[in-house]
Amino acid sequence: MRRFDIWILAVACGVVVANNYYNQPLLVDFAETFQVTQREAGNASIVTQAGYAIGMLLFVPLGDMIDRRLLIGALLLASAGALAATALAPSLPWLIVACFAVGFTSVVPQVTVPFAAHLAPPQERGRAVGTVLGALLCGILLSRTVAGFVGAEWGWRAMYWIAAGVMIVLLLVLSVLLPKDRPSFEGRYGALMASLGRLVREQPVLRQTSSIGALQFGAFSACWTTLAFHLDAMPARYGSDVAGLFGVIGVVAMLITPQVGRLADRGSPHLTVLLSSIAVLVTFLLLAVVGGSLWGMIAGFVLLDVAVQSGHVSNMTRNVGLKADAMSRLNTVYMVSRFIGGAVGSAMGNLAWSLWHWPGVCAVGLLLSALAIAVQLRPRAPSAKPLMP
């Protein structure tokens, strides 16, 4: 394994995943542009995550079947087109469809994670996954910051034009730098997709990590989807630039994520996931109490980012050790479940905000994080021994 290859994949992961999160600090701007309610504008975030889940289901398993370099290139080109369509949106329905297409095509990060695990020796897979997921988190966090400032200075359409251009540049760079890849699955696409159900049936650890990931990310998404609305409702009427700054405070989680991967290599990722779910629950209790102040929100979001990303890295580390020749499919099941949870959490948070504002959003987070703990307190799924590639 060349460390350079892992970092190339990490950079690609962080840059592309940002596409899915540019809209979150811009939701108030969407509402003002198209003269709609905040709840209607919030659908842009919901459909992006739904599109991401469907795109992962259809495209990511192909990483076990065809050269991942070709798959990544095709997805980058399609993503550039979807971002351009978003920038051109003349109405909210157009924007909603385009945001769905952005999520649907921006699934490159979920191709790169198993690619990195494939390149790494078994004893270093947690570290490789942690490195790539650290970059993914960086992309998520900084996307909100960049989008907030670009939206405040040049308007939200400029952000999507810039993102489309970045995808084209990344396509050209990766076509030269990515290493060759040898597919592990021989057969037709239908058989490949059918094998997903077999993995779910045969891998109890995968079922557990997928359930926990969905619930944790649902709580996380409920909070982030409504952040811009909550800041706008504060007496100071904070705008998209301040909402974007919340991405910067999550750099703490970005620095911790690779360390969690190393701990998962040496210790118990199951325990780390349990502790992360408890931390998410405690964080929502904190946000319910001090979420009325800007500094309280900042403290709460730092803890939320660290807790959710720690659980995510540990879940991924458990998954990649289950079946070495099915890493892309294992990742598909886990990440599709996670983003379905994210879309449901966003919808619940959006509805809770429209009815009860911030206390309602915190109630959603408490409910979902409590369910994540309950899943882990059920009889433990047996851990599978890692298989050599």
Q: pLDDT per residue over 176-204, tens digit each?
A: 877 776 766 777 888 888 888 888 998 99
* Contact status, residue 363 vs residue 235, Cβ threshold 8 Å: no
Query: Higher-confidence residue: 286 or 139?
Result: 286
CATH of the domain spanning 3-175+188-377, picked from 1.10.730.10, 3.10.20.30, 3.40.390.10, 1.20.1250.20: 1.20.1250.20
Tell me: pLDDT of 267 over 60: no
| Burial of 235 (C-beta count, 10 Å sphere; 0-12/13-18/19+) | exposed
Mean pLDDT of 224-229: 85
What's the length of the chain?
389
Nearest by Cα to 228 from 213, 211, 245, 253: 245
Give the pLDDT score at 56.
Answer: 86
Query: Higher-confidence residue: 334 or 181?
Result: 334
Query: Higher-confidence residue: 315 or 212?
Result: 212
Q: For residues 172-207, b (16+ Cβ closer than 10 Å) or e, as one string? A: eebeeebeebeebbeeeeeebeebbeebbeebbbbb
Phi, psi of 190 (to 5 degrees): -60, -40
45, two tokens? 């975030």
Mean pLDDT of 111-128: 69
Mean pLDDT of 12-19: 90
Of 162-176, 253-267, 292-306, 330-344, give the lowest mean pLDDT range: 253-267
Tell me: pLDDT of 388 over 90: no
Tell me: pLDDT of 207 over 50: yes
Of 85-99, 177-191, 288-302, give the lowest mean pLDDT range: 177-191
Query: CB under 8 Å, gap of 24 or more: what pairs does 208-212 form?
Result: 208/375, 208/376, 208/381, 209/273, 209/315, 209/316, 209/318, 209/319, 209/334, 210/333, 210/334, 210/337, 210/338, 211/337, 211/372, 211/375, 212/273, 212/277, 212/311, 212/315, 212/372, 212/375, 212/376
Kindly indicate the confidence band of residue 219, based on its pLDDT and cuts at 50, 70 and 90.
Answer: very high
Task: Name the percent of the chain lying above pLDDT 90.
Answer: 34
Tell me: pLDDT of 284 over 90: yes
Give the pLDDT score at 377.
Answer: 86
CA distance 115 to 64: 9
- Distance in Å from the first CA to the final CA of the chain: 13
* Contact status, residue 31 vs residue 41, Cβ threshold 8 Å: yes
Which sequence spans correspond to the domains of the chain?
A: 3-175+188-377
CA distance 312 to 276: 9
Mean pLDDT of 91-120: 86
Tell me: pLDDT of 65 over 60: yes
Q: How many CB atoms lie within 10 A of CB 380?
A: 11
Tell me: pLDDT of 262 over 60: no
Tell me: pLDDT of 265 over 70: no
Of 37-41, 65-69, 237-241, 372-376, give the lowest mean pLDDT range: 237-241
pLDDT in tens, 349-375: 989 998 999 999 999 999 999 999 999
Query: Higher-confidence residue: 274 or 326?
Result: 274
CA distances from 383 to 130, 215, 265 (A): 20, 21, 14
Place of tokens 């939320």: 304
Average pLDDT, the chain: 84
Helical residues (DSSP H) of the chain, grouped into ranges = 3-17, 27-34, 38-41, 43-59, 68-87, 92-105, 108-119, 125-154, 156-177, 189-202, 204-225, 227-233, 240-249, 251-266, 269-290, 294-320, 327-377
* Contact status, residue 123 vs residue 266, Cβ threshold 8 Å: no
Q: How far is CA 204 from the centre of its chain?
A: 23
Kindly indicate the confidence band of residue 386, based on its pLDDT and cuts at 50, 70 and 90.
Answer: very low
Give the pLDDT score at 351.
Answer: 92
What is the 8-class DSSP label of residue 35? T
Amino acid at 53: A
Mean pLDDT of 92-115: 90
What is the 8-class DSSP label of residue 325? G
Kindly indicate the confidence band of residue 110, based on its pLDDT and cuts at 50, 70 and 90.
Answer: confident
Tell me: pLDDT of 266 over 70: no
| Burial of 357 (C-beta count, 10 Å sphere; 0-12/13-18/19+) | middle
Amino acid at 49: Q
What is the 8-class DSSP label of residue 23? T
